[in-house]
Amino acid sequence: MTSPAVRAGSAALPRGVAIVLSLIAGAGAFMLFLQFGWADGLDFIDILRAVLILISTWWLAWGAVQGLMGLTTRAEPPRLTLAGPLTARCVVLVPVYNEDPLTTFSRVSAMDESLHATGYGHLFHIAILSDTRNDAIAARERLWFLRLLKDRAAEGRMFYRRRTDNKGKKAGNIEDFIQKSGAAYDLALILDADSLMEGATIVEMARRMEAEQDIGLLQTLPVVTRASTRFGRAMQFSAAFHSPAFARGLAMMQGRSGPFWGHNAMVRVRAFAESCGLPELAGQPPFGGHIMSHDYVEAALLARAGWRVRLDDDLGGSFEEGPENLVDHAKRDRRWCQGNLQHTRLLLAPGLLPWSRFVFFQGIMAYISPLFWIGFMLASIAAPFFAPAPDYFPEPYWPFPIFPQAETSKAIGLAIGVFGLLILPKFAVALHAAMSGRAQSFGGALRAFVSMMAELLFSSISAPVLLAYQTRSVFQVLLGRDGGWPTNNRGDARLSLAEAWAASHWVVSTGVLSLIGTWMLAPGLVVWMLPVLVPMMLAPVIISWSSRPTQSGMFVTPTDLQEAPVMRRQREILALWERDMIAMKDISLVPEAVHAAS
C-alpha cells in the first residue's frame, strides 16, 4: 500500500483502469441491446436506445469501478512527517449565513477547546465570517460571539465580522478575508457552519502541509452525524458505510488534482491567494454571475498553478451534518445542479489540467445522466411506432412462417447487469466490512448487513422521486431560471402529508400521466415502468414518512456507538448555553423568535 503522497504521482494507472473497465461495461450493454433490437429488424430508435444505454451504463460503471478500486487498498498516513514542533500560523474560517449562532458558536467553542488540548492552540486563530442578511440573527451573532470570547478567554485569537455586501456568497466571503487578512497566516482551515473537527485532526493537517510545501490544499472525508429522521439516518449510514471506499478510489484517481468539497479542508494561504481569484462570468445567472460550485474550480486553479490538491482519506475526526428530509436535500441539490452545469462555461478555460476538465465533466454528468435514462424510456415507449412490420415469410416459396427469435433473456440480462452496477459495490463493501472487522463499529456484521439492505430498499423507493427533482432542476437551469442560494434548514425536519403534497404534487402528476401514456402507447412496458412510476405517485407519502424521527435500531454508525470527544463537548456547551438563554428570559434570544423574524 502506498501513501497518498505516492499515489499522487501514480494516478495514471488507476485512471486508465477505471476508464477502460467502465467503457467495456458500456460497450457490452450497447452490443447486447443491439442484438436485442435486431430480433425484429434494426431501426433508428433501436440505435438511439443503444447509444443511450451505452452512455448510461458507462456512467454507472464509472461509479462502481471507483468504489471497487477503493476496496483494493486501505488508507494510511503519508510517509513524510514534520520533524520538530509545528510553527505554521493557521486561521480557522467559519462562514455563516443566517444560521443559529447558538449552535454554530458552540461548535467553534468545542473546536477551540480541542485545539488547546493538543498544546498548539496558540497557533490557531478563529474567524467567524458572517454573510447573514437577517438583522435579528446578526444581533444574536454579536451577542453570542461575546459569550464565546468570554468562555474561551479568546480575545485576540477569535474574530467576528459581518459583510455589508455578500457578493460571491461563501466563495466571496472567504476571498474577502484572504484579501484583507490572509497575509497574517500560512494556512487556513475552511469550514461550513455545520462543520466540526477534532483539534488533533486540525493539527495533523497543518503538520502534513508543513512537511510537504507543495501541497496547496488538503481535503478530509467528513462524516455525516446527528441525523434523527428516517431519511437522515439512512443517508448517514450510507455515507459512513460506503463513502470511505468510494473516497479512497477517488483519491487514487485524482492524484495531485483534487478533490475539494468546499469545507473541512486546509489551504495554503499564499497558494490560494495567488491562484484562486474567481472571475465573475459574463451574463446573467444561472450560467453567468458568480461561480456557485466554486470548490471544484478552486481545486482546478490550484492544480493549474502547480500546487497539489490532495484527499487524505486516512484522517478521522472530521464531521458535518446533512439534510434531514428529501425536500431539503432536493433544495440543496438544486444549488449544486446549477453550479455544476455552470461549469460548461469553464471546460475550455486556458491552462487547466486535462483531469481537472474531466472532473468538471463528471460534475456535469452527475446531473444530466438522468436525462439519458428518461430519453431511453421515452424512446422505448415510441419504439413500436417505428418498428418495421414483422415478416413471417422471409423465404420465397417456403410455406411455413418463421417467427423472430425470442430475445427476452437478453433483455432480462441487460436489466440485471445495469441493476448489478448499482448494488455490486455496496455488497462488496459489506463483505469487506464483515471480513475486516470494520462492521463491528456499525453494530456487528449482521446488523450492518440488515441496515445496508434497508438503505438499499429505501434508496430504491426514493430514487425515482429524487430523479424527478433532479430532472426538474436541470430543465430549470437550461431554461435560464436562477435558483439562488437558499438558507439551509437546520431546524425541525418533519413534514406533514399536506406539506409533502405541496412540495411534490407535480411529481405525482408526472407519474400518473406517464403511467397513462405508457399504458396507451406501449402497454408491454407498463410492468417495467412500475418501479419508477409507483414511487413517483406515492411521493408525498414517501417524503412525509421519511421525514419522521426514528428510534429504530437500524442504521447504526460508529459515532452512535462511540461519540467523538469534540462532538460530546459541543453538545455539553450547547446545553449549557441553552439553559443560560432561558434564564435570561429575553424573547429576542429565543430561536423561535429569530425563525419568525426571518
* Percentage of the chain exceeding pLDDT 90: 70
Q: Residue 245: left if φ>0, alpha if ψ -120 to 50, beta else—which one?
A: alpha
Strands 124-130 and 158-162: what pairing?
parallel
pLDDT for the residue 414: 62
Overall average pLDDT of the 323-339 stretch: 95
State the pLDDT confidence band at 186, using cuts at 50, 70 and 90.
Answer: very high
Distance of alpha carbon 75 from alpha carbon 69, whole angstroms: 12
Which amino acid is residue 280, in one-letter code?
E
pLDDT per position as a tens digit, 157-183: 999 999 988 888 999 999 999 999 999
Q: How far is CA 293 from CA 257, 261, 335, 346, 485, in A?
A: 16, 9, 8, 12, 11
Buried b or exposed e, range 182-197, using 16+ CB within 10 angstroms:
beebbbbbbbbbbbbb
Task: Map residue 345 onto helix, strand or coil.
Answer: helix
Distance of alpha carbon 457 from alpha carbon 428, whole angstroms: 17
Distance of alpha carbon 302 from alpha carbon 269, whole angstroms: 11
For 236-353, strand residue ranges (E) read: 265-268, 308-311, 318-320
Residue 152 has pLDDT above 80, yes or no: yes
pLDDT for the residue 159: 97
pLDDT for the residue 585: 58
Question: Could you count the other beta carbons within 10 Å of the beta carbon of residue 426?
Answer: 20
Q: Give the closest residue to 439 by CA, choosing from 556, 573, 569.
A: 556
Residue 587 has pLDDT above 70, yes or no: no
- Paired with 319 in beta bridges are 196, 223
State the pLDDT confidence band at 1, using cuts at 50, 70 and 90.
Answer: very low
Q: Mean pLDDT across the chain, nearest whole number? A: 88
pLDDT for the residue 350: 94
According to DSSP H, which parts of 71-198 are helical? 101-117, 135-152, 169-181
Which residues are CB-neighbours of 165 under 8 A, at least 6 positions away? Answer: none
Q: Residue 149: is it exposed, middle or buried by C-beta count within 10 angstroms (0-12/13-18/19+)?
A: middle
Residue 359 has pLDDT above 90, yes or no: yes
Asked whether 22 and 65 are in contact (CB, 8 A), the reply is yes
pLDDT for the residue 36: 72
Q: Give the closest residue to 354 by CA, choosing from 265, 254, 281, 273.
A: 254
Which residues are CB-neighbours of 568 under 8 A, at least 6 positions away? Answer: none
Residue 537 has pLDDT above 60, yes or no: yes
Residue scoring higher pLDDT (76 or 534): 534
Q: Give the closest residue to 377 by CA, choosing from 537, 509, 511, 535.
A: 511
State the pLDDT confidence band at 14, using cuts at 50, 70 and 90.
Answer: confident
Residue 55 DSSP one-character state: H
Asked whether 432 and 75 are in contact (CB, 8 A), the reply is no
Overall average pLDDT of the 358-387 stretch: 88
φ and ψ at residue 188, rounded to 5 degrees = -135, 130
Look up residue 365 and give its three cell numbers.
454528468
State the pLDDT confidence band at 263, using cuts at 50, 70 and 90.
Answer: very high
Residue 405 has pLDDT above 60, yes or no: no
Strand-by-strand arrangement of the 187-190 sheet: 158-162, 124-130, 90-96, 187-190, 265-268, 215-219, 308-311
Distance of alpha carbon 569 from alpha carbon 564, whole angstroms: 9
pLDDT for the residue 457: 95
Distance of alpha carbon 222 from alpha carbon 35, whole angstroms: 45
State the pLDDT confidence band at 591, using cuts at 50, 70 and 90.
Answer: very low
pLDDT for the residue 392: 44
Distance of alpha carbon 33 from alpha carbon 39, whole angstroms: 10
Distance of alpha carbon 4 from alpha carbon 97, whole angstroms: 34
* Domains of the chain by residue range: 90-324
pLDDT per position as a tens digit, 436-452: 999 999 999 999 999 99
State the pLDDT confidence band at 396, using cuts at 50, 70 and 90.
Answer: low
Distance of alpha carbon 63 from alpha carbon 22, whole angstroms: 9
Q: Name the superfamily (CATH) of residues 90-324.
A: Spore Coat Polysaccharide Biosynthesis Protein SpsA; Chain A (3.90.550.10)
Residue 390 has pLDDT above 80, yes or no: no
pLDDT per position as a tens digit, 43-68: 788 889 889 989 989 999 999 999 99
Residue 406 has pLDDT above 50, yes or no: no
pLDDT for the residue 3: 39
Overall average pLDDT of the 460-485 stretch: 94
Look up residue 411 and give its three cell numbers.
433483455
Which residues are CB-neighbours of 504 under 8 A, at least 6 positions away? Answer: 327, 465, 539, 540, 543
Residue scoring higher pLDDT (416 or 284): 284
Does the predicted TM-score (pTM) go above 0.85?
yes
Which amino acid is residue 132, in one-letter code?
T
Which residues are CB-neighbours of 471 under 8 A, at least 6 positions away? Answer: 370, 371, 374
pLDDT for the residue 485: 76
Based on C-alpha coordinates, what's the Rg of the chain? 26
pLDDT for the residue 401: 46
Overall average pLDDT of the 241-251 stretch: 92
pLDDT per position as a tens digit, 212-238: 999 999 999 999 999 999 999 999 999
State the pLDDT confidence band at 33, using cuts at 50, 70 and 90.
Answer: confident
State the pLDDT confidence band at 422, using cuts at 50, 70 and 90.
Answer: confident
Distance of alpha carbon 385 from alpha carbon 380, whole angstroms: 10
Buried b or exposed e, range 327-351, using 16+ CB within 10 angstroms:
bbbbbebbbbbbbbbbbebbeebee
Q: H helices then E strands: how many in the chain?
A: 20, 10
